Structure 1
Amino acid sequence: MSAVSSPTPSHAPLIANLIAQLAFGLLAMTICLPSMQEWGALFGSDQASVQLTFSGYVVAYGGLQLLYGPWSDRWGRKKVLMFGLTLAGIGSMLAALSPSLAWLTAARVLQGAGCAAGMVVGRAMVQDQFTGPERTRVMAYVGMAMGLIPPTATILGGQIHVRLGWQANFALMAVLAVLLFVAAWKGLPDHKPATTAQPHWLGAMLASYARLAREPSFPLFVLILAMTTGTFYAFLAGAPIVLGSYGVGPAGIGYYIMVVPLSYIVGNYLTTRLVHRTGDRAMMMIGQVFSVGGIALMLVLALANVDTPLAFALPLMLLGLGNGFLVPPALTGTVGLVPALAGSAAAVAGLAQQLMGAVGGYAVGLVPHEGAVNLGWLMLGLGSVALAAQVVLNRRRVVKPAPVRSSPDTCDGF
């Protein structure tokens, strides 16, 4: 299959299809956030149990990515994607029909397990179908979509919750899963699975991860990404509760949450302009200062009893900007330490991000949130670990890693 080497209008449907497949999981993750502030009362459960619906989704969404990658290499991209969309659709319908919080949590896990296919297969298909500047352009579109999804989804989800009930959000996701299934079936190219026998693929995968672990900087990059994601997911999970304590209902939550993702997009754009002057690690440190500073400012206002939605949301513009400065060079550093194992590095980083995101989301439910103080301390703790890892990383001398020998046992596609 030949890759696309130059942009043409005929590629627009393919690009739109791939972006939709990639964005579906994040949409499913965030569209029900406004409803979570009412699930405790609806199901007679505590907030920690409610947060498990979020964390369960995130764990499944992150963990299954490690499997969908090699599966799509062996059995074909479309088959694996359509299998995942089927699981996501079933999980969404089961969530809409949930009679209890335990049922809803299990349905969300199934939904997350299915949605993970879109993230992995979508990225792989971008690599398959595009080359050179066009590939970078498509990934830029993906990045912008990922930044826009959380605020758009929370606004839409809040409006649907108010008008049609919380179950309607899951019904909508089931319908979208069907539509994306048809779009994948009809609109995505077939991928020829690998025909070369790989009897030791599991051993090769483990060997690749062991090789990465021997790079002293690799765990630091992964820790930075994981803690940054944990901070953001704690914000996503805790913001509806904090805003609810300020009198903001499901219909209005999205307008305050959107501050962080939109400023993240701005931070990404500024990074493309500044990083060639400052260097990756300096850019990351600037991002850390902005991120931790924004959280600290929000916490100071909360401790001073400035209990308003704007006092909570506006300081976190700095968090969004900081993450926009921090994440792109951190991702580049993670996959660039051992270029031959870039796929394995991306898989480890992605799994660590989602697992830490699940921890951050669940930890929100362990403490009360009458105001932003407890959420602020939690976010500051997570962000401070990322900052400490950054300090250690910046003290390390940048060295060129030893080359990885090419052999049948070297696996870089996970």
Structure 2
Amino acid sequence: MTATERRASASLASIFALRMLGLFLVLPVFALEAAKYPGGDDPARVGLAMGIYGLTQGLLQIPFGMASDWWGRKRVIICGLLLFALGSFVAAWAPDLNWLVAGRSLQGAGAISAAVTALLADSTRDEVRTKAMALVGSSIALMFALSLVLAPLLASYIGLSGLFVLTGLLALAGVAAVLWWAPPEPPLHADRPRGSVMEVLKAPALLRLDFGVFMLHAVQLAMWVAIPALLVGAGLGKDQHWQVYLPAILLSFVVMGVTLFPLERRGHLRAVFLAAVALIALVQLGLWWAAWSGPSLGLLALLLFLFFCGFNVLEASQPSMASRLAPAHARGAALGVYNTLQSLGFFAGGAVGGWLTKIAGPEGLFAACAGLMLLWLLVAWPMRTPGRHQAAATSRPAEPLPGQPVKL
């Protein structure tokens, strides 16, 4: 990476990390703490307060992504972070569950994922973009693991309101990172073409990636409907689950670093990608076996480690490929569609995963997840990736690049 690429990767990963840490800190304790509010005795309303974030986030990813194509990435990112901070402070002040729902919906309205990812793509060459996306994905996964450790401790001292205040402050720190750390974005030209959603939806290769990110995050969230109970059944208390999650996540980063990047440089990205999809399918079958035969802590720890190995590879490579496929003038729109499908995957995974667990038990849930991953493997099989000479031909080493469509 050049100095500009390192700066872009580190600064934009920090923006994601600050925002996601604030979000993740709330999730482990939200349901228990929200029950203490007036109206919190209604589980459906508590569920709405938790899930409304994902709904508004999914609805606004495409408008925010397109706006970043038209008016500039940084303006949109700052507006989104300010909306997220405002929602956090409203939720911190909320006297009842209705206002908590309003605050959470405002948080979700700050849908900046597409704009941040597009800015990162603008600032990196094709051949190092997967590494840059991996840094972002790793920061998010690390914040998730960190929140599992910190959330119960912080909630006992400052409560849910205090956690929301902290979330708002972290979002404002993200604004500072955009203003004073992130590198300048490419200038907008009045005569450049404007991207549209229809242009993006006509690209089969981009649709294949959109399908994949929906499946990946639906399966990810559905898994966690049943995994905590399996860990408890294996003898690990709820407050100790981080002892499995954190080592699994950290070790998976090491595996990703020694497999994904060297193999991508050698032109084997397609093989690594498909192997990661197949690995997660095998993990689902392993979890089905664990649920059917009785959970073993060692087996569950191994399966979660293997899951994060596959998940991190896909989290790094999919947005990188999406940004390379999309023309520069429609990159925000393309990543808006991509992130919308990601949000909808979270929503579907939670809703359908809970329903499947209720009617078919964890065995049925993991069997369905294995089937979905095998379906994704079938859809992804025709994919093609550019050779090294093609990537080099579309990039320059020291400045943001105009993207060109590449067959995938």
Pairwise same-fold verdict (TM > 0.5) = yes
**1:294 Cα offset (Å):** 1.7
Q: Which residue does 1:226 correspond to in 2?
A: 214
Unaligned runs of 5+ in 1: 401-410
Residues 338-353 of structure 1: pairs in structure 2 closer than 5 A = 344-353=333-342
SS in structure 2 of the partner of residue 194 of structure 1 = coil
SS in 2 for 1:32: helix
Alignment of 1:357 onto 2:353: no
Tell me: CA distance 1:360–1:313, structure 2 relative to 1, closer, same or farther (3 Å).
Answer: farther
Q: Distance in 1 between matches of 2:8 and 2:237?
A: 38
Q: Are positions 1:98 and 2:72 aligned together?
A: no
After the TM superposition, which of the residue ranges 243-252 and 384-393 deviates more from structure 2? 243-252
1:319 partner SS: helix
The 8 Å contact of residues 278 and 373 in structure 2, kept in 1 or not, is answered as no
- Structure 1 segment 110-259 matched on structure 2, within 5 A: 110-114=106-110, 116-117=111-112, 119-130=113-124, 138-188=132-182, 194-196=188-190, 201=194, 204-212=195-203, 215=204, 217-236=205-224, 239=227, 251-258=239-246
The offset of 1:161, in angstroms, is: 2.1
Which residue in 2 is equivalent to 1:77? Answer: 73
Counterpart position of 1:45 = 42
2:233 and 2:7 map into 1 onto residues whose CA distance is: 44
CA RMSD in angstroms, aligned pairs only? 3.9
Q: Percent identity?
A: 24
Q: Once structures 1 and 2 are overlaid, which stretch shifts more, 269-278 or 100-109?
A: 269-278
TM-score (norm 1): 0.75
1:310 deviates by 5.6
Give the structure 2 partner of residue 107 of structure 1: 103
Sort the Cα spacing of 1:259 and 1:294 in 2 relative to 1 into closer, same or farther, 3 A: farther
CA distance in 2, matches of 1:124, 1:166: 33
**Preserved CA contact (<8 Å) 1:158 1:253:** no
2:82 pairs with 1:86? yes
Q: Please say if residues 34 and 240 of structure 1, whose CA atoms lie closer than 8 Å, have aligned partners that are also in contact.
A: no
Distance 1:27 1:375, change over 3 A: farther
C-alpha contact (below 8 Å) 1:17/1:183 kept by paired residues: yes
The 1:78/1:388 distance shift into structure 2, 3 A limit, reads closer
How far apart are the structure 1 equivalents of 2:334 and 2:342? Answer: 12
* Pair 1:300 & 2:289 matched: yes
Whether the aligned pair in 2 keeps the contact of 1:88 and 1:110 (CA below 8 Å) is yes
User: Match of 1:222, as an amino acid?
Assistant: D
**How far is 1:262 from its partner?**
3.4
Three-state SS of the structure 2 residue aligned to 1:232 is helix
* Length-normalised TM-score, structure 2: 0.76
SS in 2 for 1:196: coil
Match of 2:51 among 50, 55, 76: 55
Q: Which amino acid aligns with 1:170?
A: F
Aligned length: 383
Q: Does 1:378 align with 2:365?
A: yes
Give the gaps of 5 or more residues in structure 2: 387-402
Conservation of the 8 A alpha-carbon contact between 1:225 and 1:349 = yes
Does the C-alpha gap of structure 1 residues 363 and 50 become closer, same or farther in structure 2, counting only changes over 3 Å?
farther
Counterpart for residue 404 of structure 1: none
- 8 Å CA contact 1:224, 1:387 repeated in 2: no
Q: Which has the higher contact order (CA 8 A, sep 6+)?
A: 2
Deviations along 1:133-155, one digit per CA (max 9) or x if unpaired, are 77666444323323312111222
Paired letter, 2:170: L
Looking at structure 2, the residues matched to 91 and 376 of structure 1 have their Cα atoms a distance apart, in angstroms, of 38
Match of 1:406 in 2: none
SS at match of 1:44: coil
